Structure 1
Amino acid sequence: MIALDELTARAHFLSLPLRVPFRGVDRREVCLFDASTRWSEWSPFLEYGPEEAARWLAHAVDYGFGAVKATPERDKVEVNATIPAVDVRSHGLEIIDQLMQRYPGCSTVKVKVAEKGQQLADDVARVDAVRRWFAEHGHDGHGHEYPTIRVDANGGWSVEQAREAARALTEQGPLDYMEQPCASITELAQLRQQLARGQAPVRIAADEAIRKSANPKAAVRAVVEAAACDVAVLKVPPLSGIDTLLDIAHDVSEEGVAITVSSALDSAVGIGAGIYAAACVPQLCDGTGNPVRVQPAGLATGGLFAADVARRDIVAGHMHVEDVVPDPSVLEDCALTGERKDWWIRRLADAYAYLSV
């Protein structure tokens, strides 16, 4: 394993500005390694302790220093657009049009819902506005009446509220899935069972139930065993790496559960690793031999940054598999110094100690 001194010498600690606040901050602090195989990223959120951060570090080391066993099965990955909880009743289709310009060719759209201070009527208006935008514009300019729409509630609803939301949001068209509509695994299982019996069945995807767990790998198993989801939203860093993610994808597919590879608010370097991982996911089948479809990835999140370390283009709704090399000027302009740099160096040493165990 690479020595801590060498890892530290290869590290660049950065503070990247965000377009809108996330987790109460307006900048994303990241660590990039100029590694021997390719650039890699280690960016556990600031509140994470060393043991959890070590899982993220294991991925960064494996990816950057050539320890990943898996190889991509395709050269590009379909990605979804993301529409935040904007007020379309005040701004109309113009705000949807502005946002969709960031996602050329994307026909799968994740719409944020259950925002604090808003009502279900706001969510319905937002989803309907996306449908109307596609009817007028379409992802190829010719119009598509029904885009593939996902809604993401970030655990903001009760079972009853989520059931009512599913009814209201499917009146004008189907939903691909509801991502983390309720907070707990028990609630997700109850909702999934109730929706399966209803007139508008909607798939359930688990995100925070996995991501916020102290042991994400065990959480995936718990969610699947509880029959609480149809889709598991997986982020590579918390799972310690690409090979682990692929093992999980294979295991859950046996139960008919698909995966969506998603971003952990990564810079372009981390997104490159996510695209690599998504491209490695093979065509999987459930226990009866039926195919489990590869889901469009939630990796087109570069638009959340006001400045990123590199440009990652979306072409016809896809992002290509490629190693990402940061712009030297961004490495210089956004470099952390002083106490914040020292804090990250200490953090790296603390996480490395767990990595060595």
Structure 2
Amino acid sequence: MNFPLPALEEILAHSHVVQLPMQVKFRGVTQREALLIEGPAGWGEFSAFLEYGPQEASRWLAAAIEAAYQPFPQPLRTSIPVNATLPAVPVGEVGRVLERYDAPHTIKIKVAEQGQSVDEDLARVAETRRLYPQAALRVDANMGWDIPTAVAALTRLSDFDLQYAEQPVPGITGLAEVRARLRSARIDLKIAADEAVRKHTDPLEVSRLGAADLMIIKAQPLGGIQTVLDIAAQAELDVVVSSALDTSVGLAQAAALASALPELPYACGLSTGTLFADDVTDEPLLATAGYLPVRRVKPQPHKLAKLHPGQEREAWWHLRVRDCYAQLLEN
């Protein structure tokens, strides 16, 4: 971290645990938990996915502490173009889900869901293209395919004029192999790295190995705004800012990151607030006409009380903070 760590007990004393219900299952989640930290600069969010261990989750805690204790950077823009996100729903639900977005000029479609086939993915993409013929489409596999399946699936999906395909296979070398095979077949579909960036000890290796055409960057998993700005400056790749299924507090930090980038060539994945059935404020951070405002979010006491998941879950999160804080001290 590039600033002194506040005391652990101070962080815990000013933290609140929440559990937000989802409109639809997303990434296997129907209830999203987070620990929110109130600090001198505002609010930060620590919401590393439950299966992440202390070492990986500690970067998320660093981002939350940065947001709570450091001012956001000077914005270069006051609103951020955002994509709609379509979970891996059946074809019949595509229209209903996308109707929640007021202006879906760009749509990210989840594919490679466990238990689903490539044919189901194609049907979902085809229905999206039918309903929104002018929208920019992109797909996100979340590492769900092996290399042969990815090449075959993306060859078929390329017929839908996609902007890019996000993390079709695990790892950096896997991405490089998929990209090379597509180019050999004269398919110029762009490949975006997500997990290969945020789960790797050296995010810049994606750029050095030519494994991707662009990078998906997220404030929480990479350790905060300043760390991400440094990575983006060194990568020499186009970047897309995305969220990690954040509450409005986390989305505010992600929007601040996007607002500080010198260039922003693609719509960002920051419209996931529509996936929640409730949020920590009566004025959640949602897009209007396809653009997300850049502003701080202050949770409201009645929302924090309503969304509190109980003492057992609060104790679990406090223990997690302690474990991750210990990792930050070691680093």
**TM-score under structure 2 length normalisation:** 0.91
Measured at CA, do residues 190 and 327 of structure 1 come closer, stay the same or move farther in structure 2, by a change above 3 Å?
Answer: same
Which structure 2 residue ranges, 5 or more long, are not aligned?
Answer: none
Q: In structure 2, what is the Cα distance between the partners aligned to 1:52 and 1:121?
A: 34
Specify the alignment match of 2:302 in structure 1: 329
Residue 82 in structure 1 maps to residue 85 in structure 2: yes
- Please give the secondary structure, in 1, of the residue aligned with 2:178: helix
Q: In structure 1, what is the Cα distance between the partners aligned to 2:257 and 2:171?
A: 27
Question: How many Å apart are 1:25 and its aligned residue?
Answer: 4.7
Specify the alignment match of 1:237 in structure 2: 220
8 Å CA contact 1:236–1:245 kept in 2: the answer is: yes
Of 317, 326, 329 in structure 2, the residue corresponding to residue 353 of structure 1 is: 326
8 Å CA contact 1:166–1:200 kept in 2: the answer is: no
Q: In structure 1, what is the Cα distance between the partners aligned to 2:205 and 2:59?
A: 19
Deviation track 1:34-77 (CA, whole Å, cap 9, x = no partner) reads: 22111111122223333333322221122111255x32110011
Specify the alignment match of 2:38 in structure 1: 34
Residue 278 in structure 1 maps to residue 258 in structure 2: yes
Q: In structure 1, what is the Cα distance between the partners aligned to 2:295 and 2:17?
A: 22
Measured at CA, do residues 117 and 238 of structure 1 come closer, stay the same or move farther in structure 2, by a change above 3 Å?
Answer: closer
Measured at CA, do residues 235 and 75 of structure 1 come closer, stay the same or move farther in structure 2, by a change above 3 Å?
Answer: same
- Please give the secondary structure, in 2, of the residue aligned with 1:176: strand
Residue 223 in structure 1 maps to residue 206 in structure 2: yes
Q: How many residues are aligned here?
A: 324
Of 232, 241, 247 in structure 1, the residue corresponding to residue 230 of structure 2 is: 247
Residue 164 in structure 1 maps to residue 152 in structure 2: yes
The sequence identity of aligned pairs, in percent, is 41
Question: How many Å apart are 1:182 and its aligned residue?
Answer: 1.6
Q: In structure 1, what is the Cα distance between the partners aligned to 2:90 and 2:25?
A: 17
Q: In structure 2, what is the Cα distance between the partners aligned to 1:47 and 1:157?
A: 21
Specify the alignment match of 1:204 in structure 2: 191
Specify the alignment match of 2:112 in structure 1: 114
Structure index of larger Rg? 1
Measured at CA, do residues 51 and 194 of structure 1 come closer, stay the same or move farther in structure 2, by a change above 3 Å?
Answer: closer
Task: Report 1:2-17 matches (<5 A).
Answer: 2-17=6-21
- Please give the secondary structure, in 2, of the residue aligned with 1:170: helix
RMSD: 1.9
Question: How many Å apart are 1:245 and its aligned residue?
Answer: 0.4
Letter in 2 for 1:236: A
8 Å CA contact 1:281–1:294 kept in 2: the answer is: no
Task: Report 1:12-23 matches (<5 A).
Answer: 12-22=16-26
Deviation track 1:73-131 (CA, whole Å, cap 9, x = no partner) reads: 1001111111122222xx2xxx3332222221231111111223333222222112111
Q: In structure 1, what is the Cα distance between the partners aligned to 2:56 and 2:119?
A: 39
8 Å CA contact 1:154–1:180 kept in 2: the answer is: yes
Specify the alignment match of 1:308 in structure 2: 279
Specify the alignment match of 1:180 in structure 2: 167
